[in-house]
Amino acid sequence: MSLGLPVHLAPIGVARAMARGMHVMALVAILSSLVSVLTVQALLPENIIWPAALALIPLLVTLWILDREGTWVATVGYLLIGAASIYWFVLTCTVEYPGATASDNFIFSMAKIALVLVGGVGVGSFPAVAWSIIGFILAETATGLATIPTNSVYVFDGTTAVALGLVLIVITAVSVNRNRVRLAKPSLHRAARDEYIAHVRQRMEVRAAAMLHDTVLNHLAAVATSSSAALDPDLRARVSRDLEVLVGEEWLIEDGADGAAVDTEWQSTRLAVVLADARQLGLHVEVSGDPSVVTRLDADRATAVSLAVKQCLVNVARHSGTDRAEVVVYGSDTDISVMVIDSGKGFDVGGTATDRLGLRHSIRRRIESVDGSVQVWSTPGRGTSVLLRVPATAAEEVSR
């Protein structure tokens, strides 16, 4: 019952729920007594029994106050006023109703059960048990006192006693269940912690593999294919910049973990920076569609998309045999899609080697780590298209 609540709120929530349930049953018991009195009055119009119904009104009012306020004062008031109401109720009925010759009459029992179902304040099983027992004692005492002026017979009310026993059984069962839940919570917390750690480790492995390909492997490939003994100045600058990133360990920080603001202008987005870098490297990149929709992405997804597009453009420059590419950006209410298209030599998607780490780590796993998807279409001699699709961030979330 308390698994869905924080540890410090679970006992309070259980106590309030149990008290509310007892108050509902007490209301049913009072109304049953009220209906019984009015029925007897209708059957015996010559007897003046209806004043007994008025005795139940204070009990109804104090029950409503108790359920609304739930304080010590309201609990004590309900018990004391309820005992007085039962005394008046039993006294009136025994005087005017010939059938009420003993104090354990059903009409009396229902009113007394309402006092047992006090559901008073306090957290834990002991306060709930104590309030119910006090209610039972006060109800029986008021009944016994009411039989004295009328010389009627006092009989211990077995029905009310059974109701008290059932209430105590329910309270005990709830208490035992709460203790079991309390013992189980450390195991649940450990399981949740282990699951979170595994999720973080998996994200870091994906980020590390993608960063390895984006930096070390790309640069080694560029150096290996360099035609001169000296490094190209642009390549040297990129290698130096990426080394600073790796040594500084900025890539270990979760994107957006420091509360960085989301880009709201297309020109300042990470994707726009990636396209500008690709053009500086000699690749002619044409942008179409609605590039402004990338401003709806949060920091994690904006970074994943921009770095995946960067790897797509690196593949175009390195493998396609063309220096032209088109980047199409479009969005819907739920998704943002970016497609990188080239008209180069293409390749056989089904025959892609397992060591093609760029497609596997820098693109596919990177996008999948932010709940996105990747689709690749390529035909030898006709070019390649790579579609990246990630969930969109609602506009109102970005503006917060």
| DSSP per position, 353-385 | -TT-HIIIIIIIIHHHTTT-EEEEEEETTTEEE
Do residues 81 and 60 touch, judged by C-beta distance below 8 A? no
pTM of the model: 0.46
| Amino acid 369: pLDDT | 83
Candidate from 32-46, 131-145, 157-171, 173-187 with smallest mean pLDDT: 173-187
Q: What is the pLDDT of residue 328?
A: 93
Predicted local confidence at residue 77, as pLDDT: 92
In a domain, 247, yes or no: no
Residue 23 in this model has a pLDDT that exceeds 80 = yes
233 falls within a domain: no
180 and 34 within one domain? yes
- Across 42-56, 174-188, 304-318, least confident range: 174-188
Name the least confident of 66-80, 182-196, 333-347: 182-196
In a domain, 159, yes or no: yes
Among 171, 188, 205, the domain boundary falls at: 188
The mean predicted confidence, pLDDT, of the chain is: 77
CA distance 72 to 75: 5
Pairing of strands 324-331, 284-289: parallel
Whether residues 287 and 390 fall in one domain: yes
Query: Parallel, antiparallel, or unpaired: how do β-strands 373-379 and 284-289 relate?
Result: unpaired
| CA dihedral sign, ordered 158, 159, 165, 169 | positive
| Residue in 64, 45, 48 with CA at minimum distance from that of residue 56 | 64
Is there a domain that residue 223 lies in? Answer: no
Whether residue 100 is contained in a domain is answered as: yes
pLDDT tens-digit map of 232-243: 666 566 666 565
203 occurs within a structural domain: no
Q: Are residues 21 and 116 in the same domain?
A: yes
CATH number of the domain at 365, please.
Answer: 3.30.565.10
pLDDT band of residue 396 (cuts 50, 70, 90) is: very low
The answer to whether 63 touches 76, Cβ cutoff 8 Å, is: no
- Mean local confidence (pLDDT), 63-81: 89
Same-domain pairing of 264 and 150: no
Question: Does 198 fall in a domain?
Answer: no
d(C-alpha 67, C-alpha 74), whole Å: 9
Our count of domains for the chain comes to 2
Considering the domain architecture, whether residues 148 and 267 belong to the same structural domain is answered as no
Predicted pLDDT at 81: 93
- Do 139 and 267 lie in a common domain? no
- 177: in domain: yes
Where a domain ends, among 135, 164, 188? 188
Say if residue 271 is in the same domain as residue 378. Answer: yes
Among 131-140, 170-179, 246-255, 278-287, whose mean pLDDT is lowest? Answer: 246-255
Domain boundary among 188, 213, 233: 188
Overall residue count recorded for the chain in this entry? 400
- Are both 178 and 275 inside the same structural domain? no
Position 131, amino acid: W
Query: Would you call 72 helix, strand, or coil by DSSP?
Result: helix
In this structure, the answer to whether residues 25 and 160 fall within a common structural domain is: yes
Considering only residues 381 and 352, tell me which one the structure prediction assigns the higher pLDDT.
381
Do 43 and 166 lie in a common domain?
yes
Give the domain extent around 335: 259-398
Residues 151 and 283 in one domain: no
Q: Grade residue 18 by pLDDT with cuts at 50, 70 and 90.
A: confident
- Dihedral angle computed from the Cα positions of residues 159, 163, 166 and 172, in that order, rounded to the nearest 10 degrees: -140
Residues 155 and 274 both lie in one domain: no
pLDDT per residue as tens digits for the range 112-161: 999 998 876 666 677 888 888 999 999 999 998 988 887 777 888 888 89
Secondary structure (3-state) at 285? strand
User: Would the pLDDT of 185 be above 80?
Assistant: no
Amino acid 337: pLDDT: 93
Q: For position 364, what pLDDT does the model report?
A: 84
